[in-house]
Amino acid sequence: MTLPSKKPNWRRRSTAPEPVRVPADPPAASPDRGSVVQASLYRDGRKVSSPSSLAETFRRLRDEPDGMAWIGLHRPSEEELLSLAAEFDLHELAVEDAMEAHQRPKLERYGDTLFVVLRAARYLDAQEEVDFGELHVFLGPDFLITVRHGAAPDLSAVRRRMEETPELLALGPEAVLYAILDAVVDGYAPVVEGVQNDIDEIETEVFRGDPEVSRRIYELSREMVEFQRATRPLVGMLHNLMAGFAKYGTDEELQRHLRDVADHVTHTSERVDGFRQALTEILTVNATLVTQQQNAEMRALAEAGFEQNEEIKKISSWAAILFAPTLVGTIYGMNFDHMPELHWVYGYPFAILLMAVVCSSLYVIFKRRDWL
């Protein structure tokens, strides 16, 4: 199938990132729909029906040999995934992975079915943190199933975009996969801008000496590790997907736009690597500044202790000098009857001279030792 001569504006990508918009969690599903967010059948890029249950979707798809089913699920139950596996012949390993979140991004082929795991991200302004979601995609010749764990990405916007461009939707499940990849990658741009602002704030806090900045650096570093795990495998996945599109003769225009998505993923991955390196350097600088501050405080304490010690030396020296005449005066002030020199004519001058000699000697000794 070839595109019309007038090429539609599929990407609608602006140079500046769109304002951060946190998609609302999907409304609670009714009991008969289970975890099905939306299920629709398309033929030639046009919606033909919106079944109300998985069983009805299966039945209508059988009645539409040229149709395509697009089923969106949010945290499905095991029974729902097993029914999908039985209807579309999904591999048991892929179904097992879809039941469990916390999968690494990957691209695997099981016969005619592709299984893709993506990690979406959104930046939460209020908490100043990155929230990650997980998306599993099953892609077959006439169906596309999305299993979402988390609030991101907002696939309702992808569905609206595809329904508004039927010439793109007519290309089949590969076009829907491209649109999902494009939405996930576009969602990284506000996260990158938010993280960049956080790093700028952290640098200011580091040189301001904020005591809480170390915790913030650590938390942001952990988020960048998760962000790196989400983006780095995606580079190789997209190159493998492009090789598969070329091998199976997927529309050339679609391949060109997929290459554009790969370029944006590579750019984002490089930015994330730069963020991790910058945070490591900031943490090193912060540790150096903290050490310098501690050394300055220790130096100030040592100087204060030294000054205090000098004062104690002076006080102790004068106390010893004053203690000498007190000792002499105390001994000769006992007034015993039988005491040497008590009735001596030169007893008083001798006592005064002894006090002066002792005090002078102590003064000279303390002065030489820099105690005074």
Q: Note the pLDDT of residue 247.
A: 67
Say if residue 270 is in the same domain as residue 312. Answer: no
What whole-number distance in Å separates Cα of residue 21 and Cα of residue 301? 52
CATH number at residue 324: 1.20.58
Consecutive 10-residue runs of the chain (372 residues): their mean pLDDT? 38 38 40 67 90 87 87 88 90 88 87 91 87 92 90 84 90 90 93 93 86 87 91 88 72 82 92 92 87 84 84 85 82 71 76 86 84 78
23 within a domain of the structure (yes/no): no
Burial of 313 (0-12, 13-18, 19+ CB in 10 A): middle
For tokens 């992808």, the residue is 158
- Number of C-beta neighbours around residue 257 at 10 A: 19
Q: Note the pLDDT of residue 5.
A: 35
Beta-bridge mates of residue 137: 116, 146
For tokens 């990158």, the residue is 192
What whole-number distance in Å separates Cα of residue 39 and Cα of residue 26? 14
Domain residue limits at 345: 307-368
81 within a domain of the structure (yes/no): yes
Say if residue 228 is in the same domain as residue 273. Answer: yes
Sign of CA dihedral 243, 248, 249, 255: negative
Say if residue 272 is in the same domain as residue 314. Answer: no
Say if residue 143 is in the same domain as residue 276. Answer: yes
Is the separation of the CB atoms in 77 and 115 below 8 Å? no
Number of domains in the chain: 2
Say if residue 265 is in the same domain as residue 233. Answer: yes
Q: Note the pLDDT of residue 145.
A: 93
Is the separation of the CB atoms in 17 and 193 below 8 Å? yes
Give yes or no for a cis peptide into 153 (omega within 30° of 0): yes
Say if residue 226 is in the same domain as residue 348. Answer: no
Amino acid sitting at position 23: P
Is the separation of the CB atoms in 184 and 27 below 8 Å? no
Is the separation of the CB atoms in 173 and 115 below 8 Å? no
144 within a domain of the structure (yes/no): yes
- Number of C-beta neighbours around residue 76 at 10 A: 25
301 within a domain of the structure (yes/no): no
Is the separation of the CB atoms in 145 and 73 below 8 Å? yes
Q: What are phi and psi of 219, to 5 degrees?
A: -65, -45
Token couple for 40 = 């629709």
